[in-house]
Amino acid sequence: MRTTNVITCILVWSLTSVPAGLGQDHSKMDHSKMSMPGMDHSKMQMPVKKQSNKQAPAMDHSKMKMPAMDHSAPPIKKPFGSAPLQSVPVVTPDVPHLPWEMENGVKVFHLTAEIVKREVLPGSSMGPAKVLTLWGYSGSVPGPTIEVNEGDHVRVIFHNQLPEPTTIHWHGLEIPVAMDGMPFISQPPVKPGDTFVYDFTLHQNGTFFYHSHGAMQEMMGAIGLFIIHPKKPHYPAVQKDFGIVLQEFAALQNNPVPNSMAMEFNWLTFNGKAAPATTPLIVRQGDRVRIRLVNLGMDHHPIHIHGNQFYVTGTEGGRIPQSAWFPGNTVLVGVAQARDVEFDAKYVGDWMLHCHLPHHMMNNMVSMVGPMAHVGQGMHTGGGMEEGMGIVNQNSATDEDLGPAMGRGMGNTVDRDQATSHSIGQTDKSPQRTSNTALGADKNSEKGPGYPQDDLMMMPMDAAVAKPENNYLAPGWSGALAGMMNLVRVLPPAKYDQLMRDIQAKHVDPAQLRSSMPGMDHMKMPGMNHSNMDMPGMDHSKMQSKPAVPGKAETAPADHSKMQMKPGPASRSKKSGAVRTQKNSPAKSRKKSPETRTAPGRTKKSSGMSQKAPAARTKEQAPVKDHSKMDMPGMDHSKHKM
Give the mean model confidence (pLDDT) for residues 259-267.
89
Give the mean model confidence (pLDDT) for residues 5-9.
49
Q: Is the pLDDT of residue 402 over 60?
A: no
Q: Is the pLDDT of residue 128 over 60?
A: yes
Q: What is the pLDDT of residue 391?
A: 58
**Which residue did the predictor score with more confidence, 580 or 493?**
493
Q: Would you call 15 helix, strand, or coil by DSSP? A: helix
Q: What is the pLDDT of residue 85?
A: 76
What distances in angstroms separate CA 110 from CA 32, 131, 249, one per listed residue? 81, 26, 27
Distance CA 300, CA 293 (A): 12
The amino acid that residue 224 corresponds to is G
**Which residue did the predictor score with more confidence, 630 or 86?**
86
> Whole-number mean pLDDT of the chain?
73
- Asked if residue 526 lies in contact with residue 419, where contact means CB atoms within 8 angstroms, the answer is no
For the stretch 170-206, pLDDT in tens is 999 999 999 999 999 999 999 999 999 999 999 999 9
Question: What is the residue-wise DSSP string for 348-390?
Answer: -EEEEEEE-SGGGGSSS-----S--SS--S-BEES--HHHHHT
Give me the percent of the chain exceeding a pLDDT of 70.
Answer: 54
Q: Which fold has domain 100-360?
A: Immunoglobulin-like (2.60.40)
Q: Is the pLDDT of residue 229 over 70?
A: yes
**Pairing outcome for strands 195-201 and 143-149:** unpaired
Q: Is the pLDDT of residue 419 over 90?
A: no
Query: DSSP state, 611?
Result: T
Q: What is the pLDDT of residue 461?
A: 93
Residues 6+ apart with CB under 8 A from 513: 462, 463, 466
Phi and psi at 342, nearest 5°, equal -135, 145
Write b or e for each residue in 267-295: b if 16 or more Cβ atoms lie within 10 A of its Cβ, otherwise e.
bbbbbbbbbbbbbbbbbbbebebbbbbbb
Burial class of residue 262 in the structure, from the number of CB atoms within 10 Å of its CB (0-12 exposed, 13-18 middle, 19+ buried) = buried
**Greatest mean pLDDT range, 73-87, 286-300, 402-416, 522-536:** 286-300
Based on its alpha-carbon atoms, the radius of gyration of the chain, rounded to whole angstroms, reads: 41
* Cis, peptide link before residue 142, omega less than 30° from 0: yes
For the stretch 526-562, pLDDT in tens is 444 444 444 444 444 444 444 444 444 444 444 444 4
Give me the percent of the chain exceeding a pLDDT of 90.
Answer: 49
Phi-psi region of 309 (alpha: psi -120 to 50; beta: other; left: phi over 0): beta
* Cis, peptide link before residue 79, omega less than 30° from 0: no
Single out the residue of 200, 245, 198, 243 nearest to residue 218, CA to CA.
Answer: 245
This prediction has a pTM of: 0.64
Where does the pLDDT of residue 219 fall: very low under 50, low under 70, confident under 90, or very high at 90 and above? very high
Q: What is the pLDDT of residue 156?
A: 98
Where does the pLDDT of residue 593 fall: very low under 50, low under 70, confident under 90, or very high at 90 and above? very low
Q: What is the pLDDT of residue 365?
A: 73
Distance CA 77, CA 235 (A): 8
Single out the residue of 84, 252, 217 nearest to residue 143, CA to CA.
Answer: 217
The amino acid that residue 89 corresponds to is P
Single out the residue of 157, 156, 163, 155 nearest to residue 114, CA to CA.
Answer: 163
Task: Compute CA 335 distance to the chain's CA centroid, rounded to the nearest angstrom.
Answer: 19
Where does the pLDDT of residue 158 fall: very low under 50, low under 70, confident under 90, or very high at 90 and above? very high
Q: What is the pLDDT of residue 16?
A: 47
Q: Is the pLDDT of residue 475 over 90?
A: yes
Give the mean model confidence (pLDDT) for residues 1-22.
47
Q: Is the pLDDT of residue 417 over 50?
A: no
Distance CA 407, CA 313 (A): 39
- Asked if residue 558 lies in contact with residue 545, where contact means CB atoms within 8 angstroms, the answer is yes
Q: Is the pLDDT of residue 30 over 60?
A: no
Q: What is the pLDDT of residue 368?
A: 43
Distance CA 630, CA 612 (A): 19
Distance CA 270, CA 284 (A): 22
- Asked if residue 266 lies in contact with residue 364, where contact means CB atoms within 8 angstroms, the answer is yes
Question: What is the residue-wise DSSP string for 439-467?
Answer: TT-SGGGGG-TT--SSTTT----TTTT--
Distance CA 301, CA 59 (A): 58
Q: Is the dihedral of CA 42, 45, 46, 50 positive or negative?
A: positive
**Which residue did the predictor score with more confidence, 400 or 495?**
495
For the stretch 428-458, pLDDT in tens is 444 444 444 444 455 665 677 777 788 777 8
Give the mean model confidence (pLDDT) for residues 8-18.
47
Q: Is the pLDDT of residue 311 over 80?
A: yes
Q: What is the pLDDT of residue 456?
A: 72
